[in-house]
Amino acid sequence: DIQMDIRDVRKVYGGDADNSVVALDGVTLRIRRGEFISLLGPSGCGKSTLLNILAGFQPVSSGQILQNGRTITKPDPSRTVVFQDYALFGWMTVQQNVEFGLKAKGMPRKQRAELARSLINMVRLNGFEEKYPHQISGGMKQRAAIARALAPDPDILLMDEPFGALDAQTRVLMQEEIARISSAAGKTVVFVTHGIDEAVFLADRVVVMSPRPGRVRQEVHVPLPRP
């Protein structure tokens, strides 16, 4: 059951040949429904570019990406993203940030508030609901961003180094939580990291990318059962 079919995707930044950068050079990858994939590779190998394209934020230069057989052309609530730099709305409280995607879906106010609160508890931000992003730490912002991405119950969760700002202890807790949620809810996760431990701990399959230009170098199926 293929959920995302990435076919020979090429991405070139910059129009003219002199200073153009080939970020992805023919990436082909098929992602099954419910699969947890880690994208592993050194800085600059095109991981963020691929994630942004999967999100629909950027067009491919050539090739194609299908979700359930349909070409991805723009962002969609069925795919949410947790960015490395959080990208929380600065003018909204933690609670409002988490509720954002639910409001867009038209969920009634009370239900929205309840769901947001349970997600805020899950990421251990209870007590910080009314804070604005500038009032909380980097790790807390990261956790708020994770709660916001989970709120609309997406089919596909795209995560770009989502635990980078966390201390070691919180990171392990969040890793376990993400592993639990993704397997319990059958979510498809594409998880970008340059941490090999993290990649292997979380994933069903580790996709190793090689730099310059970005290509899939190796795919490793992780045989261990997930927690």
Binding stretches for ligand ADP (CB under 6 A): 13-14, 21, 23, 41, 43-49, 135-140, 165-167, 170
Which is closer to ligand ADP, CB of 20 or CB of 73? 20
Residue nearest to ligand ADP (CB): 139
> Cβ of residue 117: shortest distance to ligand ADP, in angstroms?
17
Q: Report the candidate in 43, 47, 35, 41 with the shortest Cα–Cα distance to residue 4.
A: 35
Task: List strands edge to edge, sheet with 215-221.
Answer: 79-82, 156-160, 188-193, 36-40, 205-210, 215-221
Which is closer to ligand ADP, CB of 58 or CB of 183? 58
36/191 Cα distance (integer angstroms) = 8
By the 8 A CB rule, do 209 and 217 touch?
yes
> Cβ of residue 19: shortest distance to ligand ADP, in angstroms?
9
Which is closer to ligand ADP, CB of 138 or CB of 186? 138
> Cβ of residue 52: shortest distance to ligand ADP, in angstroms?
8
By the 8 A CB rule, do 28 and 64 touch?
no
> Cβ of residue 121: shortest distance to ligand ADP, in angstroms?
14
142/167 Cα distance (integer angstroms) = 11
